[in-house]
Structure 1
Amino acid sequence: MEDKILLEVKNLKKYFPIKKGILGTQISNVKAVDDVSFSIKKGETLGFVGESGCGKTTTGRTIIKLYEPTEGQIIYDGQDIAKLSPRHMLPYRKKMQMIFQDPYASLDPRMTVGDIIGEAIDAQKLLGKGERNDKITYLLKKVGLNGDHGSRYPHEFSGGQRQRIGIARALAVDPEFIVCDEPISALDVSIQAQVVNMLEDLQHDLGLTYLFIAHDLSMVKHISNRIGVMYLGHLVEIGESNELYSKPLHPYTQALLSAIPIPDPDMASKNKRIVLQGETPSPIDPPVGCRFKDRCKYAKPICSQVTPLLKEVGKDHSVACHLY
């Protein structure tokens, strides 16, 4: 891993308008991502965790411009791409790719596997027909499938094989940065480790940089160099993987980590599970101040008035909490 910053996100916001009536009058916004900042070094894996609806996937999709950002900067290799037009984004489409969560929904059932993988090659006009076919065969083998699988259709493959096809599609244009959006959550447990190990091997062989979004906290620790924790559109803690797991600082991070199953019965009996009270507030009308305050046993008056900002509390460890 290099020390060079490949991607820097500054004050990113993504709001989805809520409209009402026959004229579609906007009445409010869903604040899916609200003022998020972080950076990713070239060659590293940054993991993102948090409960469903916290903004992880929206952050990933906004970074690679599948969603247009509402505000903020997305600085990729020194260039702010946040406001680039589709035409000027074209060179960055080659550099930034995504592996989607559902291998059943993300592959067009009417296309052969070869055409699914080759679609991006054709869009970027990268290779002639002979080279294109050679590249597709190479990629299928690279992800552990047979080179002659290109003539088949997605329904002929298992979920794990389909996800490998999705990974081959992401690799087709030789990207530098890949958003892995819960790439193992739809797969059998027996297949998950194989796919994660393959992603690690590909990263080592091809020099890839990952944003790895997941629910499985143990798997995120395994694959990530650093981990960011999201809650209701905010990044509440970010730090080096082992540091964050051994010394979680934000009360929400502590609650998340306390829920990880421990296979050793003796150790599990000593583990104190932190059960959060109340419900996650609505992203349409998030609370003023700290968004976690109504579920936090340490909440103070300032938590209801001032939104805590991420601040460094140790080497490569930052937390957004008034306790620190």
Structure 2
Amino acid sequence: MIDQQQESRNEIKQADTEVLIDVRGLKKYFPMERSLFGRTTKVLKAVDDVSFQIHRGETFGLVGESGCGKSTTGRSLIRLFDITAGEIYYDGRDLAAMSEKEMKPYRKRMQAIFQDPYSSLNPAMNVLQLISEPMEIHMNYNKAQRLDVVHELLNKVGMKKEHADRYPHEFSGGQRQRISIARSLAASPEFVLCDEPISALDVSVQAQVVNMLEDLQDEFGLTYLFIAHDLSMVRHISNRIGVMYLGKLVEVTSSEQLYRHPAHPYSQALLAAIPVPNPKVATADRWMLQGDLPSPLDEVVGCKFRLRCPFAVQRCAEEDPSLREVAPGHYVACHLHG
């Protein structure tokens, strides 16, 4: 019943929605070694030719192992990183081509919630100052108006107005994350990057924060890019999901389609690794992922996943697969479906 309700919610959100963010050929390389004359001799390809779209009002989930480029993709999208190549269209305008001055109006429209709430909150500022800061930069509010908004936002995230005078170290991890969420909403954004916002929290608190994010999305009409490791939680909150491996998208489809019919071997392995309450449940139709994630510094010819894939063939060693539509709205980068 819950799955049916979630699927219905996903279908409603995806129907007749316009594209808010259109990422085309995004690349972000970090120089790792330089020659005596300053020339870059080795680069880390954190994000390597990634393309996807996020529709207005939906939640697009991004999953994968640590080091696959999820967070770099998200931070590049909101221009916390200057990208190496590609285009990032936000509401029809290419953010990648903008100067910092041209970006300022878009900073208000795009906000972020980070993984560690304590490191993202200035310990020298109290809650009132932390949440007011975006309003001082982007909103023409006086002191009384800012105080009213802070109290309202604290109430929205399940905290009390007397918390406004306290400092980050006086709160638990879950409360600090609620403060981060309130701060991200202070400038009335349209899009919020949720960069693993629940991974540092207790399991019981994770569910509360995810439910709160859903309620806030419905109330304010927000669009999310939700990055996480917990695939079961990503399924709960996301309308569509992109699976990343070593800087590339290997599968993009709806949340329910990914969990019912995963097409890429890597997606199948990630789903097989999700703990189930009954250990006797048969998983004969799935296989467990073997080995460690290769170094992103290594140059792998062909499919990057072939070194861990039991279904790899000669073509996988020669040709890097591109995303192909194997079903309506279901894209896979795998030669098994080519």
- The TM-score normalised by the length of structure 1 is 0.96
Could you say which residue in structure 1 is the equivalent of 2:23? 9
Cross-structure match for 1:282: 295
Q: 1:206 aligns with which of 210, 215, 220?
A: 220
Structure 2 unaligned residues grouped into runs of 5+:
1-12
1:64-143 mapped onto 2 (5 Å cutoff):
64-143=78-157
Counterpart-to-counterpart distance in 2, 1:129 and 1:22: 54
Find the partner of 1:39 among 27, 31, 53: 53
The answer on 1:196 being equivalent to 2:206 is no
Alignment-mate amino acid for residue 283 of structure 1 = P
- Note closer, same or farther for the CA distance 1:146–1:24 as it changes in structure 2 (3 Å cut): farther
Alpha-carbon deviations, 1:161-198, whole Å to 9, x = none?
00000001100000001110110000011111000000
**Cα RMSD (Å):** 1.5
Aligned 8 A contact 1:100 1:182 in 2: yes
SS of 1:16's equivalent in the other structure is strand
Residue 186 of structure 1 corresponds to which residue in structure 2?
200
Q: Residue 24 and residue 109 in structure 1: after superposition, are their counterparts in 2 closer, same or farther (change >3 A)?
A: farther
Separation of aligned partners in 2, 1:23 and 1:127 = 51
Match of 1:312 in 2: 325
Q: 1:20 to 1:124 in 2, by over 3 A?
A: same
CA deviation after TM superposition for structure 1 residue 148, in Å: 2.1
2:334 paired residue number = 321
8 Å contact kept, 1:46–1:225? yes
**Partners of 1:10 and 1:36 within 8 A in 2:** yes
Q: Helix, strand or coil: the match of 1:46?
A: strand
Aligned position for 2:254: 240
Distance 1:159 1:22 in 2: 46
Quick one: distance in 2 between partners of 1:286 and 1:23?
24
CA contact (8 A) 2:59 2:223 kept: yes
CA separation of 1:207 and 1:146: change in aligned 2, threshold 3 A:
same
The CA deviation string for residues 37-84 of structure 1, in whole angstroms up to 9 with x for no partner, is: 000111000111100000000000000000011100000001111121
| TM-superposed deviation, 1:204 | 0.4
Structure 1 match to 2:9: none
SS at match of 1:168: helix
Structure 1 residues 260 and 271: CA distance shift in structure 2, 3 A: farther
Question: Which SS does the other structure have where 1:111 is aligned?
Answer: coil
Task: Measure the CA separation in 2 of the matches of 1:226 and 1:103.
Answer: 26
Structure 1 residues 279 and 270: alpha-carbon distance in aligned structure 2, compared to 1, 3 A threshold: closer
User: Does the alignment pair 1:147 with 2:161?
Assistant: yes
1:296 maps to 2:316: no
Deviation string, structure 1 residues 102-148 (Cα, Å, up to 9, x no partner)? 01211110011111111111112431111111111111111111012
| 1:177 corresponds to | 191
The share of aligned pairs that are identical, in percent, is 59
Q: Does 1:50 align with 2:69?
A: no
SS of alignment partner, residue 22 of structure 2: strand
Note the residue ranges of structure 1 that are not aligned, 5 or more in a row: none
Alpha-carbon contact 2:35-2:41 (below 8 Å) kept: no
Separation (CA, whole Å) in 2 of partners of 1:216 and 1:276? 16
Q: Residue deviations 1:294-316, cap 9 Å, x none?
A: 11111111111111000101111
What amino acid does structure 1 have at the position aligned with 2:316? C
Question: Given that residues 180 and 213 in structure 1 are in contact (C-alpha distance below 8 angstroms), is that contact kept between their aligned partners in structure 2?
Answer: yes
Q: Which amino acid aligns with 2:261?
A: K
Rounded to whole Å, the distance in 2 between the matches of 1:15 and 1:21 is: 17
Separation (CA, whole Å) in 1 of partners of 2:73 and 2:125 = 29
Q: CA deviation at 1:23?
A: 7.2
Equivalent residue number for residue 257 of structure 1: 271
How many equivalent pairs are there? 323
Please tell me whether the aligned partners of residues 281 and 287 of structure 1 are also in contact (alpha carbons under 8 angstroms).
no
- 2:10 counterpart residue number: none
Aligned to 1:163: 177
The CA deviation at 1:285 is 2.4
Structure 1 residue 273: deviation in Å?
A: 5.6
Secondary structure of 2:320's match?
Answer: coil
How far apart in 1 are the matches of 2:97 and 2:132? 28
How big is the shift at 1:24?
Answer: 5.7
Q: CA deviation at 1:150?
A: 1.2
Q: What's the offset of the Cα at 1:277?
A: 3.0
Give the partner amino acid of 1:176. E
Question: Is the Cα contact below 8 Å between 1:259 and 1:273 reproduced in 2?
Answer: no
Q: Deviations over 1:241-299 (max 9, x none)?
A: 111111111111010000111113442x4466623333322212230110001111111
Deviation at 1:8, TM superposition (A): 0.5
Q: Which amino acid aligns with 2:255?
A: S
Amino acid across the alignment from 1:119: E
**Preserved CA contact (<8 Å) 1:50 1:231:** yes
